[in-house]
Amino acid sequence: MRLQERNVLITGASSGIGEATARVLAARGARLILVARRSNELERVQASLRKTGNTQQIEIVSADITRDSDRKRVRKTVERLGELHVLINNAGITAHGRYDESVPAVLRKTFELNFFAATELTGELLPIIKRSSGDKMIVYVSTPSGLYGIPGRFAYSSSKAAGHAWMESIRFELEQDHIQTLIFCPGYTRTALRTSGLDEKGQIISEEQARGAASPEHIASLLCRGMERNRRLVLTNLNGRVIYLLRTLAPGLLFRLISKKLKKDFHRA
C-alpha cells in the first residue's frame, strides 16, 4: 500500500501512538485528518507537523467519537476533502480490575470507545472509503490482550476481542471493494494509556509506566510498515506472538504462564 498523497484519518491523534503515527505518515507524504477530543493538543500536533514541512495537508477535528453528532462532523470534514484511503481506528481506553469487583459501567464505557465508536465511525465513513480511488485500508489498533482474555483486564480484553471479530468479518465483506484490513497489536508502549484508563469503580487510574515499554515512535513505524506491506495482523513483541501461537497449540500452558506472570494483578489482597 502506497501512503504518499493518500488521505489518512487517525483517531486518538492527540497523544501516544496516534500522534507518533501522524509523524511517521507525514514523513511518508500522506495527507492527514487528525481526530481526538482535546483541540489544544491537536493544534499542538498540527503546528509541530507543519514545522517539519513534510506534508501539505493536516486537518484537525476535535470530536468525541463515542457521540453520534461528533462522528457526523468528522464525516463532513472528510466529505469536504473528497476521498479517504486509510482509516486508523486508534483511540482507545484501558480498564483495570477484576470482573467480580467492577461496576457494570466500566465494561460499557470501555466497549463504547474501543468497539462501538470504532465500528460506528467506520460505518459513517465507509461510503466515502468505498468510492475513493486506488487501494484502501481500515486499521484497528488493538493489543495482544485482545487475543486472549487477560486476568485483571476483562473489559479491555473483551472490547478489543470484539474488535478483532468485527475486523475479521469485514475483511471478507470488503474484499470486493479493494479495502484491506489490518489488526495492529502493539506491545506495551510508553504513552498516557495508564493514566487515562478506568479502575473497578470507573475512576481514572494512574499507574506508573512499567519498565521495558517501547517508544510510540518505534510502534508507529511498525504500524506504517504493516500498512505498506498489506499485513492482516501485526504483533510487535514476543508476548503477543507467544499468546497468538499458544492459544490454539497449547492453551493449558498459556493459562499457566499467564496465571503465574500476572498473579499480582488479579489475586485478591
Ligand X SMILES: NC(=O)c1ccc[n+]([C@@H]2O[C@H](COP(=O)([O-])OP(=O)(O)OC[C@H]3O[C@@H](n4cnc5c(N)ncnc54)[C@H](OP(=O)(O)O)[C@@H]3O)[C@@H](O)[C@H]2O)c1
User: What residue ranges bind ligand X (CB under 6 A)?
Assistant: 11-12, 14-18, 36-38, 41, 64-66, 90-92, 113, 141, 143, 186, 188-189, 191-193, 196
Q: Which is nearer to ligand X, 178 or 231 (CB)?
A: 231
Question: What does the DSSP 8-state code read for residue 214?
Answer: B
For the record, the C-alpha cell of 205 comes out as: 487510574
Amino acid at 33: I
Asked if 120 and 91 count as a contact pair (C-beta separation under 8 A), the reply is: no
Measured between alpha carbons, how far is 6 from 35 in angstroms, rounded to an integer? Answer: 17
Measured between alpha carbons, how far is 48 from 217 in angstroms, rounded to an integer? Answer: 15
Measured between alpha carbons, how far is 201 from 97 in angstroms, rounded to an integer? Answer: 9
Q: Which is nearer to ligand X, 77 or 196 (CB)?
A: 196
Measured between alpha carbons, how far is 248 from 202 in angstroms, rounded to an integer? Answer: 33
Q: Which is nearer to ligand X, 37 or 178 (CB)?
A: 37
Q: Which is nearer to ligand X, 192 or 250 (CB)?
A: 192
Nearest Cα neighbor of 60 from 48, 69, 68 is: 48
Q: Which is nearer to ligand X, 210 or 269 (CB)?
A: 210
**Secondary structure E strands in the chain:** 7-11, 31-36, 58-62, 86-89, 136-141, 179-185, 233-235
Q: How far is the CB of 133 from ligand X (least distance, A)?
A: 28
Q: Which is nearer to ligand X, 192 or 238 (CB)?
A: 192
Q: How far is the CB of 233 from ligand X (least distance, A)?
A: 14
Strand order in the sheet with 179-185: 58-62, 31-36, 7-11, 86-89, 136-141, 179-185, 233-235
Q: How far is the CB of 60 from ligand X (least distance, A)?
A: 11
Measured between alpha carbons, how far is 237 from 144 in angstroms, rounded to an integer? Answer: 9
Asked if 220 and 17 count as a contact pair (C-beta separation under 8 A), the reply is: yes
Q: Which is nearer to ligand X, 44 or 178 (CB)?
A: 44
